[in-house]
A and B are shown apart, each in its own frame.
Chain A
Amino acid sequence: MEESHGGDRTRSLLCSICNQRRPALKRPKTLQQICRECFYVVFEEEIHRVIVDNKLFKRGERIAIGASGGKDSTVLAYVMSELNRRHNYGLDLFLLSVDEGITGYRDDSLETVKRNEVQYGLPLKVVSYKDLYGWTMDEIVKMIGLKNNCTFCGVFRRQALDRGAALLKVDKLATGHNADDISETVLLNILRGDIARLSRCTSIITGEDGPIPRCKPFKYTYEKEIKLDYFSTECIYSPNAYRGFAREFIKDLERIRPRAILDIIKSGEDFRIATSTKMPEQGTCQRCGYISSQKWCKACVLLEGLNRGLPKLGIGRTRGVTGERQKDDQQIGVKNLQSKACGSLDF
């Protein structure tokens, strides 16, 4: 079913860049067949261009690289440290990891992150759920049982990196979200009818007005080029953390037309969305200071329940109590559509 464009079906004998070595892969973006050595050069150069063209960082900034131990964040750590050195960005880089406190679960990924620390000479900071929330996931599960724990997974994980970054006083947080992730988010926002998120989900920097801006140097980078092998860590507490439809659809699309992933991102950037429908005003949580449209942020509501021994507080589908609660329920509604619901900890 592959579409025919030019002579890309025929296998070239030599790398189309250096014309010396045998090609090792075909780039989805350009359909060029190139050798491994040339791939690394163009790959890193592209990320450099993205960083420079979008003014992602300023000299002297303290940047946390969200490190999950997954492929995306490992490659990001490598490329960032390499480019910082090569192009003299003058950035103070370190790895930031979150330990959820699930016995056995983080062992492997923390090992990977520790290896990255040594390999790329980047300092590593690990913040634990215990530090951030006073509870480990194991303790939470013991308290509430397996049934509702994904509410906690989702809410706590969404905030953990930001909270850790705030704790460590960083200027910016860089995450390993790649082009596949972003195109999936565009589709999910269309499917769930969230025009406000649709309008901002393709931004390369978000939260610039908030305490800690996030940026995505891999916005235009194909997952295929990051993960030359597939790596996934699914939430061991979630009984059916199945991969979503949307991600499979994107993979099918990529098979027929590789550029579709970038076309989806382009669409996301070009949608005509009235400025008035952009994000609603966001205040801060009166309890912890985290951004929240309600008096208390979702994590604080959940924590209050845990601490008072009423763990069901803040869970469930009762409508109209807090707006934020509804938003989270909405996310649960499409959980089976998205691949990184709460399961994989690859942020």
Chain B
Amino acid sequence: MACNGTGCQSGCYKDGTGDQDENSSTENKLAADANGVDKHRRHRMTCLKCKAVEATIFTGGDGGGRFCADCFRSNLYGKFKLAVTSNAMISPIDKVLVAFSGGTSSRVALQFVSEMQLKAQKNYDATANRDRSLPVFGVGVAFIDESEIHPVTSAVLDKAVEDIKQIVCSLPPPTKELHVAPISRIYSTKTSDGKQMLQNLMNSVGDATGKDDLLAHLRMLSLQKIAVENGYAKLVIGSCTSRIACHVLAATVKGQGYSLAADIQYADARWEVPVVLPLRDCPLQELNILCSLDSLKIVEIFNEPGAGINGLISSFVKILQEENPSRECTMVRTAGKLTPFPFNRIPEANVDDADLVSQRRQKKFNLKPIESLPPESFCPICNSPMSCYSNPELKPELFRAACCPSCQYQILPDESSSMYQFYSLLPESIIARAKNGNQKWIREKIQDCLLLDEEDEV
């Protein structure tokens, strides 16, 4: 193919020939159905991976995937593990925090991280010479209570928290600490009524999509706060391929084409605690299958469908995916070809020397210095990199100018007279981010990455 003859980097074992195999894969499936009764039946219905056992799971994805339960599990876990190891997401001395919303994706992330930890523990226990073996990374779990914004009865909330405790207790050993925090915790303890300020802040946003996005930004702030306060080195977010595909469209539709590349990589070190997305290559459909296969419990709370444009995009992507089972993968792969930012990898300082194995396996980004020029500034609300420099001198009346155009439109008040009020409701961390501190801090991190690039070239 002339235009983009590179294979799929996202580990979906598609050979990069584009959409054309979609048709043939559907045809194969139809052919398989039509020939279901003939003598080839047994051959056709065996698991694609082990070719020994009858396939019971049909993922419908690339090549019309069909697996036996064991191969399905190991294939899905394999995608997770490949993402973790090839991007140095978890190093043995790390303590990682898994964000758990109760939904399918983060439930699987939690399960897989625990399994990986258990394997590391077994390796450790089996090694005779303790001095030479790698330590085992630690795992914690965070659940953000959004009842201040999505009101639920206390009985419902208590039940959900109880279920989450049960889930965390039932994970394989070692024991994991669970952090449950109301979202208003982003306001410092000095603030007497964080809850009220939070509600006023949310109510000041008229745009349904903007409200939805602001909540997502605040959720990230909450998770970051828990991670920082408890000494976690990484924050694991369970965003799956489907979720990321929706984000690709959402960012495009909101005019965030420049910053999109930052959000969809495996690693995102623009935060104080780097964020990693180990389920980037796993479609939601497969995660759903795993949850029902292994009876992984889901907690349905606060995961309402997106509002406004976000809701429209989810339903559009859902239709696209039904019409073509590899559509989401193609979208994420396309966006994955956009040039990432220097902070889209785990800074080397975080990778322990002892972790040579993982370092060797690590596929380095080949960031060309010119292509990966750092952004000039970051939006204080959504933390999007911006290509133009914003005024670091911070006063409420200049706050608008420091934000990205998307936040200006859908989150900030239209009238400048309401700006003071809005500004006064923001949590300290956003104000601090706006006050140059964040930009300087990120610049230092980026500097590390850039220096490493130069070293790589030598």
- Residues B253 and A264 in contact, CB atoms below 8 Å apart: yes
- Residues A3 and B206 in contact, CB atoms below 8 Å apart: yes
- Residues A190 and B248 in contact, CB atoms below 8 Å apart: yes
Interface of chain A: mostly helix, strand, loop or mixed:
helix
Q: Is A128 an interface residue (CB 8 A)?
A: no
Contact with A along B33-62 (1 / 0, CB 8 A): 000000000000000000000000000000
Q: Is B115 an interface residue (CB 8 A)?
A: no
Q: Which of B2, B17, B323 contacts A280 (CB 8 A)?
A: B2
Contact with A along B312-352 (1 / 0, CB 8 A): 10001001100100010011011101110000000000000
A interface bracket (residues with beta carbon within 8 Å of B) = 35 or more
- Residues A266 and B4 in contact, CB atoms below 8 Å apart: no
User: In the assembled complex, how far is the CB of residue B449 from the closest CB belonging to chain A, in whole angstroms?
Assistant: 16
Report A-chain residues with C-beta under 8 Å of the C-beta of B210: 3
Q: How far is the CA of A6 from the CA of B412 in the complex (A)?
A: 12
Q: Is B240 an interface residue (CB 8 A)?
A: no
Contact with B along A293-332 (1 / 0, CB 8 A): 1000000000000000000000001010001101101101
Report A-chain residues with C-beta under 8 Å of the C-beta of B229: none
Q: Which of B18, B251, B255, B256 contacts A192 (CB 8 A)?
A: B18
Per the 8 Å Cβ criterion, residues 180-206 of A in contact with B are 186-187, 189-198
- Residues A256 and B337 in contact, CB atoms below 8 Å apart: no
- Residues B252 and A186 in contact, CB atoms below 8 Å apart: yes
Contact with A along B342-380 (1 / 0, CB 8 A): 000000000000000000000000001001000000000
CB nearest neighbor in B for A8: B414
Report A-chain residues with C-beta under 8 Å of the C-beta of B312: 249, 252-253, 256
Q: How far is the CA of A192 from the CA of B335 in the complex (A)?
A: 11
Q: Is B258 an interface residue (CB 8 A)?
A: yes
Number of interface residues of B (CB under 8 A): 52
Q: How far is the CA of A326 from the CA of B2 in the complex (A)?
A: 9
Report B-chain residues with C-beta under 8 Å of the C-beta of A189: 334
Q: Is A17 an interface residue (CB 8 A)?
A: no
Q: Which of A1, A186, A262 contacts B308 (CB 8 A)?
A: A1
- Residues B206 and A195 in contact, CB atoms below 8 Å apart: no
- Residues B323 and A333 in contact, CB atoms below 8 Å apart: no
Known interface pairs A187-B249, A267-B255; 8 further A-B residue pairs with C-beta atoms within 8 A, sorted by A's residue number: A3-B210, A194-B334, A195-B334, A249-B312, A253-B309, A260-B309, A273-B339, A330-B18
Residues of chain B touching chain A, judged by Cβ–Cβ distance below 8 Å, are: 1-4, 17-20, 22-24, 206-210, 248-249, 251-258, 260-261, 308-309, 312, 316, 319-320, 323, 327, 330-331, 333-335, 337-339, 368, 371, 387, 406, 409-410, 414-415
22 contacts between A and B (CB under 8 A): A1-B208, A3-B208, A4-B207, A5-B409, A190-B252, A191-B320, A193-B18, A193-B330, A194-B3, A195-B338, A245-B320, A256-B312, A259-B409, A260-B253, A260-B254, A264-B252, A271-B258, A273-B338, A277-B337, A319-B20, A326-B20, A337-B320
Ranked nearest first, the 5 interchain pairs of A and B with the lowest CB-CB distance are: A267-B257, A263-B255, A333-B19, A270-B257, A270-B258
Residues of chain A touching chain B, judged by Cβ–Cβ distance below 8 Å, are: 1, 3-6, 186-187, 189-198, 245, 249, 252-253, 256-257, 259-260, 262-264, 266-275, 277, 279-280, 293, 317, 319, 323-324, 326-327, 329-330, 332-334, 336-337
